[in-house]
Amino acid sequence: MAIATINPTTGETLKTFEPLTDTDIETKLAQAQKAFEQYRKTEITQKSVWLQAAAEILERDKENLGKLITLEMGKPLKGAIAEIEKCASGCRYYAEHAAELLADVPVSTDASHSFIRYQPLGVILAVMPWNFPFWQVFRFAAPALMAGNVGILKHASNVPQCALAIEEVIHQAGFPPSVFQTLLVGSERVADLIADHRVKAATLTGSEAAGASLASSAGKQIKKTVLELGGSDPFIVMPSADLNAAVATAVTARMLNNGQSCIAAKRFIVVDEIADEFEKQLLEKFQSLKIGDPMLPDIDLGPLATPGILKDLDYQVQESVKHGAKLITGGQPLLDRPGNFYPPTILTDIPPGTPAEQEEFFGPVALLFRVADIDAAIIAANVTPFGLGASAWTTNEQERDRLISEIEAGAVFINGLVKSDPRLPFGGIKRSGYGRELSSQGIHEFVNVKTVWVK
């Protein structure tokens, strides 16, 4: 795949980049290792100053950086600007809390003095996706840099300008040269990067296939990995729910990022007695969404990021319909305009074994399932191989407790939109990956948890 900015709204190739050579990569790895040897000694108060400066730069430049996101991957500009603001918030969280999260933890033992100390590992490889091209990187970089690690970024090949802009923000903030570097390379380089002795661990957000490949390469080297992979998140609505609020949130949850979010609600599991009204309201709201140029302020839905994603999504829809699913709106690429546009789509009456029951749909397609009761809802929620997030809507306390306990997911949100928050750990189970980002768990993923015993 070429490393290039291809505007998904128009299909126009705006800028291409030559991948780094073997010599370039060797130079950058050597620089990263040398930088770590000094940076690991830097006081955490100084790191905090630099990370606060990064937050200020992000907020200052959020309009231009947001436009760059929209240009490269197509999300509506208002959402792109919000993404930059979230990056600033994440930086501030770790700038303010890392010292506490990384402080020695005293433990009473038979020693005169024993404690746990958190120390950096070294050079960490981040393999990041295009769908949140800034936030995915900063939620790795902020805790990793505060812990004293250095980062090398292999970003998705369709957001190279975002990748370079992130490196520039971190350098402008005052972090030493080579503490964070972008490597413009293809995915075929990842295994060699993992194998390099200077790279101590890796994190990846992306597809199951990409995660399995990276984990396999890292396993051969006995190196730590964190994987945040796909999701087919359930959105359960019980009869006791505030239906209007549930529908409004359902639309936001499915259309966020043009439907291209791992934690987007994708499978809407609704109890029979309210399913007709839920479907009616959802259809009305889907049909009222405005599709078009994501740079315009009143647009709700922009293009999918690449022609390949458009093709794959349409194939899943057509296969599901061919095997019995009912299409009630949308369902065909918008070929009357340039770009990778797919309309808001709803599938219902979905038979077992179809793509709509088991696979992740990465685009603006809602999959509607009707169930008899809470038991059937929980079974339907857990039927897929994924376990990232889940949203459940109820005002019944017993139902709430069951949904929290029995849904198989890394996060359960009751009466709210599933989202990442720097204060809470983020990650999945089953084929959605392992390990956690954000919160205290995130900053502890890439440290040596050292036991110290003194007598």
Residues 279 and 246: their CA atoms lie apart, in Å, by: 11
CA-based R_g, the chain, Å: 23
d(CA 434, CA 199): 20
Distance CA 417, CA 235 (A): 9
Take residue 436 and report the two structure tokens written for it.
Answer: 């956690």
Distances (CA, A) of 415 to 152, 232, 326, 391, 418: 38, 18, 28, 7, 9
Work out the burial of residue 108: count CB atoms within 10 Å of its CB; fewer than 13 is exposed, 13-18 middle, 19 or more buried.
exposed
Q: Nearest Cα to 289, choosing from 248, 239, 243?
A: 248
Amino acid identity for residue 309 in this structure: I
Told to judge if 228 belongs to the known catalytic residues of this protein, a careful annotator would answer: yes
Eight-state DSSP code of residue 42: S
Select which of 87, 167, 262, 408 is catalytic. 262
Q: What is the spatial distance between Cα 437 and Cα 136, in angstroms, rounded to a whole number?
A: 10
Interatomic CA distance for residues 246 and 248, integer angstroms: 6
Q: Residue 313 in contact with residue 362, Cβ under 8 Å?
A: yes
3-state secondary structure of 395: coil
Q: Is 91 a catalytic residue?
A: no
Element (H, E) at 94: helix 77-101
**For residue 319, how many other CB atoms are within 10 A of its CB?**
14
Catalytic residue among 72, 83, 228, 399: 228
Q: What is the DSSP string of 416-440?
A: S-----TTS-B--EETTEES-BSHH
Strand partners, 6: 13
Return the number of other C-beta atoms located less than 10 Å from residue 46's C-beta.
Answer: 12
Please answer whether residues 194 and 125 qualify as being in contact, where contact means their C-beta atoms are separated by less than 8 angstroms: yes
Burial 262-291 (b: 16+ CB within 10 A, else e): bbbbbbbbbbeebbeebbebbbebbeeeeb
Give the residue numbers marked as catalytic. Answer: 228, 262
